[in-house]
A and B are shown apart, each in its own frame.
Chain A
Amino acid sequence: MALLARRLVQLVGVLLVVTFFSYLLLNLLPGNVAVAVLGPNATAAGIAHVTAELHLNQPLPQRYIEWLWQVLQGNFGESYHTHEAVSTSLAQRLPVTIELLVISQILAFAFAIPLGILAALRPGGWLDNISSITAFGFLALPPYVLGVILVLIFAVSLHWFPATGYTPFLTDPGANIHDMILPSITLAVGSLAVYLRVLRAEMIATLQEDYITMAVAKGMPTWRILTRHALRPSTIALVTVAGLNVGALIGGAFLVEYIFALPGVGVLAIESIFSKDYLVVQGIVVVVAVAYVVVNFCVDLLYLFLDPRARGVQTLG
């Protein structure tokens, strides 16, 4: 538990740094922040209003602390274009992005784990060769190419799935999943290829370990050796890669949302960047950065579950 407390303190430290730099982003804009936020047609009254609201006449550390206090209460400010609270837009858009990320990762793991195990069982076998070649092929295909190809085949030619569009889950769960399949596959393929390669390599190494020979000598069946003895020690690298992959994945999700016209955070970010809606961009950056840090914190905790040696030595007796 002391370990957990130490990790939590670290997490808070990292979060402070991350939010500070996210906040700094707005202040790094050239010239007057209020002018940048309001655009070229800003009026003197508007500038005065924004300066007051964003506390622009106060020193930076103080502004940061006041801003952070507001953010902790869920207040990211409001868009100067739509006059909608940034938190409201995020609340609408985040579930779409999260759903896309979660489904794509479930798909990636659901295929990568069994394929990685089977490929490692017979390295150089037909399954290993086919999965390796396919994985490399998909790795070389960026999502914006793959997405378009999938749309051409499964939406335009076969009409199995819609090319674009989104149905909220609560309106019609079936239609929601149906809409999400192509985007999720597009996003999953890159992760799948990486996870498959990492797990395969780790499994091959693990299967050389003495304790695997020992399990064989105990007369344990192959499936039990693979799942009970070899999988867990082999997933440590996989979990690390999955955590680090979150950053690339979020970038990929933004692209996929754009291709399939999903109303997620990515599309919001792109729109806000084009319309110079800086407070919205800032809100998104904060949320994404915090999410990345928190996911990797969870990965750290997962190590403790996966590898008893990481829990610290506590000898009995």
Chain B
Amino acid sequence: MSRGHTTAGHEYPEIPAETLLTVEDLRTTFDTPRGKLTAVDGVSFELEAGRTLGVVGESGSGKTVLSRSVMRLLPKRGATSTGRVRFNGHEMVGLTQKQLRGIWGTELAMVFQDPMTSLNPTMRIGNQITESLRYHLGMSSSEATEHAVVLLSSVGIPTPERRLHDYPHQLSGGLRQRVTIAIALACGPRLLFADEPTTALDVTVQAQILDLLAAQQRERSMAMILVTHDLGVVAGRTDDIAVMYGGKIVEQAPTKTLFAEMRMPYTEALLGSIPRADQPSHTPLQAIPGRPPDLVSPPPGCRFAPRCPYAQPRCRHEEPPLREAPTKGHRFACWFPVGTPEGRQALEENRVRGVALDPARSVTT
């Protein structure tokens, strides 16, 4: 846990660290047959150079669209994305594809979820690594090949010289994800997006890949945004965590703070849905009842209210703003926060009234 807190910003708090990425009021909508779907709804956050932000949320919370929106890697048609994204001195919103190509790969890179589909099956691994080296850094064929060997061995691939000539189908899932990491790192990006980088992998390989990402991130003092649905994945590996729900950030805090004093009932529910080693075996997991909100016509008020054990009438018509908690860097959006007298009272009232957590039913007063 302490590993994430050894970065410059924490050891010397009086010197403000360089802000690498500033996102302000980012909003991304998709045209669907049913109407406009708002996948990312007014998200703002900052990321300092060399630090790691975990973005956590269940499927459909907008975490993947958030990372694609920051990268500006959205479909050309049907998607609209507004707001401000300032990255490494670039105003990303409004850049042309050509201008973005100068940033993609070299300053901003991405590791995708499924290494079975993110490598081109008809190209040798070597070519998939060297093409960006040759295109972006102007390396000759032999320089690029040498560099590719170094990259492959740095991500822990044995006999890299021979692997260069392999096709992706000749590699295991874990090795393939190492290759996609090598490709993402090839041109030395300052910020790496890792979008569920271990979801498609065996449990035994997951930790290895996460450790590899953490090691590379420290070595290269590269910033990283780790997108995942699994709070357990980000627990020991990030400086900060942003929890997303229904396209919005509902809680954000330094990792330790979040686990110690979470305020948002959704964060609590996410944590409750992780199996824990200290519980007796066969303890039922606490699934979050109900489904994520419909992002075409989201419910009024707090979007989590229909599934929330704390929900009060106020939650259903008045949307809680993202407000500062007493601890520095901790923000949350809730009227009846976890661990506060208001929160305890709300929970107790619901218990007394016997309100079942059925999203179809509404709370009556």
Q: Mark B120-149, 1 if CB is under 8 A from A, else 0.
A: 111100000001100110000000000000
With a cutoff of 8 Å between Cβ atoms, the chain A residues found around residue B180 in the complex are: 214
Interface size of A in residues (CB-CB distance below 8 Å): 27
**Is A229 positioned at the interface, with any CB of B under 8 Å from its CB?**
yes
A100 to B55, CA, bound (A): 62
**Is B30 positioned at the interface, with any CB of A under 8 Å from its CB?**
no
A228 to B169, CA, bound (A): 18
Interface residues of B in 146-200 (CB under 8 A from A): 158-159, 162-163, 166-167, 169-170, 180, 183
Contact A316 B163 (CB under 8 A): yes
Contact A219 B135 (CB under 8 A): yes
With a cutoff of 8 Å between Cβ atoms, the chain A residues found around residue B101 in the complex are: 219-221
**Which of chain A's residues has its CB closest to B97's CB?**
A222
- List the one stretch of A104-112, A131-139, A258-266, A302-310 in contact with chain B: A302-310
Contact A210 B114 (CB under 8 A): yes
Contact of B132 among A210, A219, A233 (CB under 8 A): A219
With a cutoff of 8 Å between Cβ atoms, the chain A residues found around residue B270 in the complex are: none
Contact B166 A316 (CB under 8 A): yes
With a cutoff of 8 Å between Cβ atoms, the chain A residues found around residue B135 in the complex are: 219-221, 224
Question: Number of residue pairs across A and B with beta carbons under 8 Å?
Answer: 88
**Is B112 positioned at the interface, with any CB of A under 8 Å from its CB?**
yes
A-side binding surface: helix, strand, loop or mixed? helix
A136 to B100, CA, bound (A): 38
Contact B169 A211 (CB under 8 A): no
**Is A83 positioned at the interface, with any CB of B under 8 Å from its CB?**
no
Contact B122 A306 (CB under 8 A): yes
**Is B345 positioned at the interface, with any CB of A under 8 Å from its CB?**
no
Interface size of B in residues (CB-CB distance below 8 Å): 36
A196 to B167, CA, bound (A): 29
**Is A8 positioned at the interface, with any CB of B under 8 Å from its CB?**
no
**Which of chain A's residues has its CB closest to B121's CB?**
A309
**Is A209 positioned at the interface, with any CB of B under 8 Å from its CB?**
yes
A216 to B71, CA, bound (A): 11
**Is A82 positioned at the interface, with any CB of B under 8 Å from its CB?**
no
**Is A13 positioned at the interface, with any CB of B under 8 Å from its CB?**
no
Contact B120 A217 (CB under 8 A): no
Q: Mark A208-237, 1 if CB is under 8 A from B, else 0.
A: 011101111111111010001100110000
**Is B95 positioned at the interface, with any CB of A under 8 Å from its CB?**
no
**Is B340 positioned at the interface, with any CB of A under 8 Å from its CB?**
no
List of 5 A-B pairs having minimum Cβ-Cβ separation, nearest first? A219-B105, A219-B104, A210-B117, A308-B167, A211-B120
Given contacts A210-B114, A314-B170, 7 further A-B contacts (CB under 8 A): A214-B120, A217-B109, A219-B105, A307-B122, A309-B121, A309-B169, A316-B166
> What would be 25 A-B contacts, judged by CB atoms less than 8 Å apart?
A209-B117, A210-B113, A211-B121, A213-B118, A214-B119, A214-B180, A217-B71, A217-B73, A217-B104, A218-B132, A219-B102, A219-B103, A219-B132, A222-B97, A224-B131, A228-B123, A232-B122, A233-B121, A306-B122, A308-B122, A309-B121, A309-B167, A309-B169, A316-B159, A317-B163
